[in-house]
Amino acid sequence: MTRAAALAGLALIGCIPQVEPPARPVPPPERYDPPPPESAAPIYHEPYPLPPPRNAARPRRRPPPGPDRGQLPPPVPAPVERAVAALPAPRPAWEARPVAVDAVEVADTTVTVRPGDTLSRVAERTGAGADAIARENGLVPPFPVRAGQRLRVPGGRYHPVRPGQTGIAIARAYGVEWSRVVAANGLTEPYVLRAGQRVLIPVPPPERTAAAERAAAFRLDIDDILTGGEPALASNQAPAKPIATPRRVLPATAAVVAPPVGLAPGTFLWPVDGRIVTRFGPGQTGERSNGINIAVPTDTPVRAAADGVVAYVGDGIAALGGLVIVRHGGNWTSVYGHAAKLLVRRGQAVKRGQTLALSGATGYAPRPQLHFELRRGRLPVDPVAQLPRAPRLPERAGGA
């Protein structure tokens, strides 16, 4: 190469600008980070790493779990509506008429029937309940006794019932569950106490503390209201007649008259039209539903399933929020929970299809819905089996 050519080459090289080395070295392919596992949050690199060589196996990114993979995310509970709008009404009878603790302690004994004695006189003399003495000695109505007959008197605490007192109030006064009082006294339908009746108060089991027993006594359920919510009738007192309009107010201490005598087959109708979201019976998490939950928009009219008399209106059961209980003929009862507005009063006669309340999401409801139960006596039954048709297939089991 001539000297002139070399000088020309050097001149050209001097015209090319110099490139600064990169501030951060690019990681080699073998240090490429695969995508994180599903359980980790996505990580975004800046700058992005180089892709792996063409002949390397590309890592697979699994799609996140979702509905298309059969793994639904857990539902987000909706806000719970706590307020329940109701017509002005007196407090429940078990709150309006408190009970004083004045039970009589009676020891186990045996007595001899005197001439002219009746079972009631024997009970009065001993302080025990006539019903308890009859059960102990196998006596049946009209409970005849004869002079010289020996009767066993079961011992225990006997509370004398006063007019207007309810079973719930009596149980709460002694800090025991009303269901245990029902069992101890063998009470049956219609569960209305009588003034002068002596109710046996069971003693709490030794393994339960007094505080635990009292706390349990103050947790109301539907069975408590059905069996212990009616005021006791005084001697020769007639039950109150049903009221025809919510403009009248029945006194809290008035015992409601019995509902219609019977029900014709196919009498019940659906209280609302909606989608069943909770079925009757045990749920997936082990809890049991005594009815069904039907999803409906807020303020949907809730209709009476059959003719009857309103036995309870209020929000005394926290889980169910706004609640209406209606007694029907044939020993049937219907229950309507989670209402946002209550439109009837206790003691009111209602017709099949009449609006009782407006739906909501009160109590422990995760969404606007109606909790609906049917009971035959004290036994909850599947409402779907008693209704003419199911509006839609159930979505899931379990619930309130």
Clarify whether residues 211 and 267 are in a common domain.
no
The pLDDT, as a whole number, for residue 55 is 53
Q: Write down which residue in 205, 228, 251 finishes a domain.
A: 228
Tell me, yes or no, whether 364 and 245 share the same domain. yes
Longest dimension (CA), the chain: 156
Q: Which residues pair with 85 in a beta bridge?
A: 341
Judge if 243 and 370 occupy the same domain: yes
262 within a domain of the structure (yes/no) = yes
Average pLDDT over residues 202-217: 73
Domain enclosing residue 183, as ranges: 95-228
286 vs 277, residue with greater confidence: 277
Q: Is residue 53 part of a domain?
A: no
66 — pLDDT class (breaks 50, 70, 90): very low
Identify the domain boundary among 178, 193, 228: 228
Do 284 and 191 lie in one domain? The reply is no
Residue 166 in any domain: the answer is yes
Is residue 60 a part of any domain in this protein?
no
CATH code for position 156 = 3.10.350.10
Give the tens place of pLDDT for each residue, 312-357. 999 999 999 999 999 999 899 999 999 999 999 999 999 999 999 9
pLDDT tens track for 253-271: 888 877 877 777 678 999 9
Give this prediction's pTM: 0.75
Kindly give the residue spans of alpha helices, DSSP state H, lying in the chain: 3-15, 93-96, 119-126, 130-137, 167-174, 178-185, 210-217, 222-228, 383-386
- Cα(66)–Cα(152) distance, integer angstroms: 70
**Do 279 and 206 share a structural domain?**
no
Residues whose CB falls within 8 Å of the CB of residue 359, separated by 6 or more in sequence, listed in order: 272, 296, 297, 298, 299, 300, 301, 302, 338, 339, 340, 368, 369, 370
For residues 199 and 124, state if they share a domain.
Answer: yes
Q: Per residue in 17-29, pLDDT tens?
A: 454 454 555 444 4
- CATH number of the domain that residue 287 is part of: 2.70.70.10
Task: Assess if residue 352 is contained within a domain.
Answer: yes
Same domain, 146 and 113: yes
Q: Does pLDDT of 70 surpass 70?
A: no
Asked whether residue 277 falls in the same domain as residue 333, the answer is: yes
Same-domain pairing of 252 and 378: yes
The alpha carbons of the chain give a radius of gyration, in whole angstroms, of 36
DSSP state of 86: E
Kindly state the tokens that stand for 386. 């008693």
Share of the chain above pLDDT 70, in %: 74
Query: Same domain, yes or no, for 176 and 281?
Result: no
Tell me: do 244 and 340 sit in the same domain. yes
DSSP code string of 160-216: EP-TT--HHHHHHHHTS-HHHHHHHHT--TT---BTT-EEEEPPPPTTS-HHHHHHH
| pLDDT for 69 | 37
pLDDT digits (tens, 9 = 90+) for 27-60: 444 443 444 443 333 333 333 344 455 555 555 5
Q: Please give the C-alpha separations between residue 307 and each of 248, 329, 390, in angstroms, as whole numbers.
A: 19, 8, 21
Q: Cβ neighbours of residue 258 under 8 Å, at least 6 residues apart?
A: 190, 239, 309, 327
State residue 51's pLDDT score. Answer: 47
Do 58 and 52 touch, CB atoms closer than 8 A? yes
**Dist. CA 223–CA 379, nearest whole Å:** 9
Among the candidates 228, 253, 270, a domain finishes at 228
Domain membership flag for residue 148: yes
For the chain, the straight-line distance linking the first and the last C-alpha, in angstroms and rounded, comes to 99
Beta strand residue intervals within the chain, DSSP E: 85-86, 104-106, 109-112, 150-153, 156-160, 198-201, 275-278, 281-282, 288-289, 292-295, 301-303, 308-314, 322-327, 332-342, 349-350, 355-359, 369-376, 379-381
pLDDT band at 174 (very low <50, low <70, confident <90, very high): very high
Residue 148: predicted pLDDT: 96
Which pair of structure tokens corresponds to residue 63?
């799609």
Question: CA 45 to CA 27: how far, in whole Å?
Answer: 12
Give per-residue pLDDT as tens, 215-256: 777 889 999 999 999 999 988 888 888 888 888 888 888 888
**Average pLDDT in the chain:** 81
Inform me whether the pLDDT recorded for 300 exceeds 80: yes
Rounded to the nearest 10°, the torsion over CA 224, 225, 226, 232 is 100
pLDDT at 393 over 90: no
- At 327, the amino acid letter reads R
The two tokens of residue 229 are: 């919510």
Q: Are residues 191 and 281 in the same domain?
A: no
Total structural domains in the chain?
Answer: 2
> Considering only CA atoms, which of 69, 66, 25, 65 is closest in space to residue 49?
25
